[in-house]
Structure 1
Amino acid sequence: MARTVARLIVDALSELGVRQVFGVVGDALNPVTDAIRTTEGLEWVGCRHEEAAAFAASAQSQLTGTLGVCMGTVGPGSVHLLNGLYDAAKSHAPVLAIAGQVPLAELGSDYFQEVDNDALFSDVAVFRATVTSPDQLPQMLETAVRNALGRKGVAVLTVPGDLGERELTTDRPARFSLNAPVSRPDESAVRRAAELLDRSERVTLLVGEGARAAREDVLTLADRLAAPMVLTLKAKAGFEGHDNPFQVGQTGLIGNPAAAAALDDADTLLLLGTDFPYRDWYPEGRTVVQVDTEATHIGRRVPVEVGLVGDTGATVRDLLGHLADGTEGARDRSHLEKARERFDRWRGGQARLADPAHDRSVVGRVRSALDNRAHDIRPEALAAVVDRVAADDAVFTSDTGMATVWLSRFVEMRGERRLVGSYNLGSMANAMPQALGAQCLDRDRQVVAFCGDGGLSMLLGDLMTLKTHRLPVRLVVFDNRRLGMVKLEQEQAGLPEFGTVLDNPDFAAVAEAMGITGIRVTDPAELEDGVRRAFRTEGPVLLDVLTNPDEVAVPAKPTVEQGWGFAVAKMKEVVRSHGEPSGH
């Protein structure tokens, strides 16, 4: 018996190993969701907002390297997917979106809720198509999936509402040939790169997520070159930890002075699996060698002397075969040792800031009089306690903004920890729905979301999805009653804070009203106990911690202009009219 369009799509997803499909039900999707209902091993996760569904699917794809799937019904339902799909596209996450559409005969008639999906998704998708005949499947589905996986992006397949129940005239199943190729750069380019690296006195590695699968090879290379290793944020998971004696943390606005100095002091930079976009943080006048699987990434951030297009692991192994033998002991290690000493000093200072007793010290009392007169909890202390309490295989997500800053500086991605965030698109509201997707993969693995209060409240409704599906996510809310990163950006530019104050509810009480355990911490002395209670409680938990809204995250290389702008902004805020609401 011939299968319907909906049945073929769902059977193919099941065959691919997809375990969850995220979305919001609607009439155009009814045949597809009904096929999911009757398919063993495939779970429909009904979300409260399609954007959350797309974020969840993207998180699953980033954590597994396999296909994430979400769905949005006709018109607004599909439009709501867009931001989460942009995040997947910018993160190079293979995601298939099934989008509903008006009945086939009404296409192009400006029908109720009609949206031109092929036009809507033209910028975000590596493949997009509307099914207009049952017999276009399974080939169209195969093409969509191969594009998503092969090009590491978003594929959108639009299905008109009256097409899902129609039968195909063929019984041929969808077939997927998904062997991932391993590419290597040209041999002559590898030799030239090795010669440059051998001649260099001070090499620094800038390592991205694209090198994560080649961790041991990269560590061997760092040892051979006596090179400090600067990590991008996405490379924290995989390269951070006590067993990596080369890493010196991140650079950029969320970074540290040791990492910035390691780049500045080098005569040669070796970029491995990274497209780090911030041009201002690359030192000028250095010799640069870049390894990336994408030829279009070579040299687009910083001028490159030698570009090696290929798989990072294979390329690093080829380089090791051409570099001078490190056992001869000729390589000076002072560049590495200096960078590590700086990094250790910086970490020691950060640990003092994160001590819950910091504000009771002499230095802390002086500092509090200037920036924490309400004696709110320091966000550094919250992040540090979570780092101590969380499991060594926990999955972390973080909202864009200050929550990511605190995670970057105070949470170590040791052991088998993983990290997901909107680190390329920089969207708000990603942490909670990405945690939702991560927890669906393994309900026994600890998942921790670092939520900003602005981000959490933007998609607050999907707390109910956690509750409905009994997903034991730990939501850690940095409740500073602010859009904190925007506040900091305004003040560094010499502008007084404006438009960033948030009139928040008691998020713990909101969680309790939704059937989720809520814990609220307002006293620094109760922080450790509150965090530990949140992590030992069964089921989903929201930990609402009132943190200092005036906390300053000093960038890796603070400038005089930033400091002056901050001082001017503070003066303007002090002389603000007494009648203007302050948000405190």
Structure 2
Amino acid sequence: MTTVAELIIEALAEEGVSSVWGVVGDALNPVTDAIRREDRIEWVGVRHEEAAAFAASAQAQLTDELAVCMGTVGPGAIHLLNGLYDAKKSHAPVLAIVGQVPREDIGTDFFQEVDNDALFADVSVWCRTLTDVAQMPHLLEEAVNTALSERGVAVLSIPGDVGGLDLPSSTAVPRFVRPAPPAAADPDLVGEAARALDQADRVTLLVGQGARHARSEVLALAERLHAPMVLSLKAKDGFEDANPYEVGQSGLIGNPATAEAFAACDALFMIGTDFPYREFLPQGKVVIQLDVRSTHVGRRTPVDHALVGDSALTLQALLPLVAEKESTKHLDAARTVYEEWGKAQARLADPSHDKKLLGRLRGKVDNPEGRVRPEQLAAAVERHAADDAVFTTDTGMSTVWLSRFVRMTGGRRLLGSYNLGSMANAMPQALGVQSLDRRRQVISFSGDGGLTMLLGDLITAVTHDLPVKIIVFDNGRLGMVKLEMEQVGLAEFGTVLHNPDLAQVARALGLHGVRVTDPADVDDAVREALAHPGPVLLDVLTNPDEVAVPGKPTLAQGWGFAIAKTKEFIVSPE
């Protein structure tokens, strides 16, 4: 005889699921016992279910395949929510198996009971409770098929008295289906977009992760139009390598070249991106937007030509219709600004920066304690990281430094909570990725605030032999919040973090822990940390007052910083 739990786990193993993340307990004991007896699936027990959901979301984003996490009755299920929202907003196919009280107690306000169907309604594309063996296998098929086809979260609740039930011998083996093949946008609309591109003298491309599989087509279009290419943060992964058209990111993490590319263009072509920051998008331009999801088109800026379809197939249809432009002035101007900005950034990353005249003068103002500049740390990781390393970043300043100093060249990949913007995502995402391949280098750019929020799951790296490299930008601050306050003229308040020696904490937990306080030690420490065979936490004390301004700062922002600094000087107790 086969039980409900055994059928679920066997079917997931056949689908290619290699690990399940969660915390064991009561209602899901039959499921974890089935995992114990299934050699194809690894059970990864975490210290907090939020870490489980982040890990599964990362796996799904990296592979485009189903990933699985679990949380038992009530609180265990609730803890999954934040990581599941990350999966939802990242369009990652994740199956969450959650516990429920026994069937006879549902609706009686039983111990730990919550209404899972209501709780997960907003985060999921599918949410049901399994209450009878007759619902197998079709309920599991619905869950997996919906998660894969709609690229979202499916939640299957299993009451405590259901997982161990025997199934009738006639129960069919679950069969999962693949999503429908992609299609190009409407040919007539493609023709109209081509004519609009021909009529524009200067075209700028804004490219997102949705075009990652269309790299060759996007590059061919940029070459034909001599168009500078602004990349969303997520598009670093796939478009930075050998790309003579890219000019970096826009938004708060951006640079002056993207502002130049936007301001000077006649037409903006958005490809596979849902870039959310309207204030950084240019106004008064002809806008073309290509996206596989019609719901994305026009919701950030008015669109003149909407193309709904697969990026690669649509661009293949568009390219023969677009005439090659003669002038390269628009591209050359943006690239010149980008290259000059890059040289200025490289000077900040120089370990001897603060020893030179201008550096000493600047350091007296913004780095009087002589701490490591975060630019230097990020640049050192860039130099020593493997060509196929996977990077994860915490939301905040660590993302800024990766954006500016780490290039996604070769086979490198990048993940973060770039749609939800959660704290504490980088370390558990790194754990999820590392479990897919323990031989591949996985590097987490962690903020001290994000890391300490889920600090307990450093133990997971040790318990499950996951050799992640945790790089901590330890500035004793919630750095991005500090920047946001100062940008609008508010004094820094509530952002100071009183951290322990995180390297000592890591060593106590079983990791290799290294602490760096001297800029002269950064390069060697990074090289050695990345070469260590097991999990490592590299705790680097970085400058808390390092300012990362927008690519085109406004007068109001500059005035805000001045006012904030005056207030901090007058009222700060530190």
Short-chain TM bin: over 0.9
Q: In 2, Cα distance between the equivalents of 1:260 and 1:88?
A: 31
Q: In 2, Cα distance between the equivalents of 1:500 and 1:312?
A: 42
- Which contiguous aligned blocks of 4+ residues in structure 1 show a shift greater than 3 angstroms? none
- For residues 48-447 of structure 1, the aligned pairs below 5 Å read 48-169=47-168, 170-241=170-241, 243-324=242-323, 326=324, 330-447=325-442
Runs of 5+ consecutive residues of structure 2 not aligned to the other structure? none
Q: Matched residue of 2:471: which SS? A: strand
Q: Which amino acid aligns with 1:59?
A: A
Q: In 1, Cα distance between the equivalents of 2:271 and 2:571?
A: 49
Q: In 2, Cα distance between the equivalents of 1:286 and 1:259?
A: 15
Q: In 2, Cα distance between the equivalents of 1:347 and 1:511?
A: 35
- 1:288–1:305 contact (8 Å) kept in structure 2: yes
Q: In 1, Cα distance between the equivalents of 2:313 and 2:487?
A: 44
- 2:210–2:273 contact (8 Å) kept in structure 1: yes
Q: Which amino acid aligns with 2:299?
A: R
Q: Matched residue of 2:571: which SS? A: coil
1:106-161: per-residue Cα shift (whole Å, max 9, x none)? 00000000000000001000000001111101101111111111000000000001
Q: In 1, Cα distance between the equivalents of 2:102 and 2:162?
A: 8
- 2:471–2:537 contact (8 Å) kept in structure 1: yes
Pairing partner for 1:573 from 561, 568, 573: 568
Q: Displacement of 1:263 after TM fit?
A: 1.1
Superposition RMSD on alpha carbons, in Å? 0.8
Q: In 2, Cα distance between the equivalents of 1:317 and 1:503?
A: 54
Q: Which amino acid aligns with 1:50?
A: E
Match of 1:39 in 2: 38
- 2:250–2:259 contact (8 Å) kept in structure 1: yes
Q: Which amino acid aligns with 1:209?
A: Q
Q: In 2, Cα distance between the equivalents of 1:568 and 1:15?
A: 61
Match of 2:465 in 1: 470
Q: Displacement of 1:179 after TM fit?
A: 4.2
Q: Which amino acid aligns with 1:184?
A: A
Q: In 2, Cα distance between the equivalents of 1:157 and 1:493?
A: 45
Q: Matched residue of 2:275: which SS? A: coil
- 2:148–2:179 contact (8 Å) kept in structure 1: no
Matched, 1:535 2:534: no
- 1:252–1:260 contact (8 Å) kept in structure 2: no
Q: In 2, Cα distance between the equivalents of 1:180 and 1:467?
A: 41
Q: In 2, Cα distance between the equivalents of 1:187 and 1:395?
A: 38
Match of 2:24 in 1: 25
Give the length in aligned residue pairs.
573
Q: Matched residue of 1:553: which SS? A: coil
Q: Which amino acid aligns with 1:539?
A: G
1:281-326: per-residue Cα shift (whole Å, max 9, x none)? 11111000100001111111111111110000000101012212x3
- 1:263–1:269 contact (8 Å) kept in structure 2: yes
Q: Displacement of 1:180 after TM fit?
A: 3.9
Q: Matched residue of 1:476: which SS? A: strand
- 2:149–2:179 contact (8 Å) kept in structure 1: no
Q: In 2, Cα distance between the equivalents of 1:268 and 1:565?
A: 33
Q: In 2, Cα distance between the equivalents of 1:494 and 1:272?
A: 36
- 1:372–1:550 contact (8 Å) kept in structure 2: yes
Q: Displacement of 1:506 after TM fit?
A: 0.3
Q: Which amino acid aligns with 2:397?
A: M
Q: Which amino acid aligns with 1:119?
A: A
Q: Displacement of 1:331 after TM fit?
A: 2.2
Q: Which amino acid aligns with 1:546?
A: L
Runs of 5+ consecutive residues of structure 1 not aligned to the other structure? none
Q: In 2, Cα distance between the equivalents of 1:302 and 1:496?
A: 33
1:255-293: per-residue Cα shift (whole Å, max 9, x none)? 001012101111001110000011101111100010000
Deviates more, 1:381-390 or 1:315-324: 315-324
Q: Displacement of 1:574 after TM fit?
A: 1.0
1:402-460: per-residue Cα shift (whole Å, max 9, x none)? 00000001111111100000000000000000000000011000000000000000000
Q: Which amino acid aligns with 2:548?
A: A
